[in-house]
Structure 1
Amino acid sequence: MGVKFGATVRKRYGKVYRTLKQKRRCPSCTSLKFKRVAMGIWRCNKCEYKVAAGAYDVNLGKLQG
């Protein structure tokens, strides 16, 4: 994202991107292989546990504020 977008938009994008790419623990087996498969679908590659949650984070309340 270059100069075309404002600083506020770039900061907000950076926050969402960092939240999306951070490592997460699987609620079922506690491994660190819990990743987003598609928008709102999260899956553990180790135990095949699937859950539908937020688009960018499993906990919906994290990005507000």
Structure 2
Amino acid sequence: MTKRTKKVGIVGKYGTRYGTSLWKMVKKIEISQHAKYTCSFCGRTKMKRRAVGIWHCGSCRKTVAGGAWCLLSGRMEHSKLNIPEPRI
């Protein structure tokens, strides 16, 4: 099949509706939503979104809770930086 959307990409399904500023924001969200992420358990890039906030690794079959559109939201990444690692 030929490529039908040059600029808009994944948000081409909305056609001429809603305006450019909105589809630019939606494009950023939908690209991160459909991307595959690295699993923190097995290290493979197999973590996919199943539903809002539910992420599943196809390799090790672990299911974890995460952000709504991307695996780690901005607050989650920030809080992980502030948690000290346990001393052994």
Superposition TM-score, scaled by structure 1 size: 0.83
Q: CA deviation at 1:37?
A: 1.1
Give the total of aligned pairs. Answer: 62
State which of 74, 78, 81 in structure 2 corresponds to 1:61.
74
Quote the residue 2:24 is aligned against.
Answer: 11
Which structure has more relative contact order (CA 8 Å, sep 6+)? It is 1
Q: Give deviations 1:2-41, integer Å, cap 9, x for gaps.
A: 2221111100010001111222110000111111111110
Deviation beyond 6 Å, 4+ runs, structure 1 = none
Distance 2:66 2:57 in 1: 13
Q: SS at the partner of 2:48?
A: strand
CA distance in 1, matches of 2:17, 2:58: 38
Aligned equivalent of 1:29? 42
Distance 1:23 1:58 in 2: 9
Instruction: Report which of the two has the higher share of strand.
Output: 1
When the two chains are superposed, the root-mean-square deviation of aligned CA atoms in Å is: 1.5
Query: Following the alignment from structure 1 to structure 2, what is the Cα–Cα distance between the partners of residues 15 and 9?
Result: 10
Structure (1/2) with the larger helix percentage: 2
Instruction: Letter of the 1:3 partner, please give it.
Output: T
TM-score by length of 2: 0.64
Contact 2:35 2:48 in 1 (8 A): no
